[in-house]
Amino acid sequence: MLARAESPPAPPCAAVEAICGREALLDPSGALFLVEERALVVADMHLEKGSAFARRGQMLPPYDTAETLARLATLVARFGPRLIVALGDSLHDRWGAERIGAEARAALAALQAGRDFLWIAGNHDPEPHGLGGACAPGLDIGGVRLRHEPGTGLTSGAGEICGHLHPVARVARRGRALRRRCFVTDGARMVLPAFGAYAGGLEVSAPAIAGLFGRAGFTAHLLGEGRTYRLTSDACF
């Protein structure tokens, strides 16, 4: 278990949630910060997605890796984490590490300096990739399992923080529908939004997401400009 330490106060833009009693800050960037452990968690960065598409003849601006790592660096400066956890699919494919350039490697090295950095294996990047830090299939923090894909069930008192599903929520506002990336939680399980610049999304009403929470439903925290918006599951579609 990670040692507990003093942590900076919650930024005014971050929502506060509890996951099995552990305080978590939900940042409007899509990152989660576990306060007592000073652990910064992001999911589904999909680094080098632009270059992967370019190899198949679909030209996207090749700036997604730089943008994603710059956003992560901003969060590191804000929260001062002792540990960064990337919850899998950090690379868009298993050859992504070969395409990462020198500037991105230097940015990763700076993010890892003076702290632990853990890459959780994902379905896009199941193997260690030589980008610094450590690699593992998952991490347990005080009864909360950090993993890429949601598990099949949670035992009483257990918790889970995962990614993989790229949740987004649609809500009706002033006669039009808004679609935003979001956190999804019921207090025991937390599904993080994709952090990558080019990542897509799956509606929270889809069975793959809604089915994780059952009849009790869930709370969605939609990412907005400088803040998150808390909605119950029946307000999303």
Q: Which fold has domain 15-235?
A: Purple Acid Phosphatase; chain A, domain 2 (3.60.21)
Tokens of residue 127, six digits: 């193997």
Per-residue tens of pLDDT for the chain, all 237 residues: 344 445 555 565 678 898 988 999 999 999 999 999 999 999 999 888 766 655 666 666 778 899 999 999 999 999 999 999 999 888 877 776 778 889 999 999 999 999 999 999 988 788 878 899 999 999 999 889 999 999 987 777 789 999 999 999 988 777 788 889 999 999 999 999 999 988 889 999 999 999 999 888 999 999 998 999 999 888 776
171: which strand partners? 178
Q: What is the DSSP string of 79-142?
A: H--SEEEE-S--BSSTTHHHH--HHHHHHHHHHHTTSEEEEE--SS--S--SSSSEEES-EEET
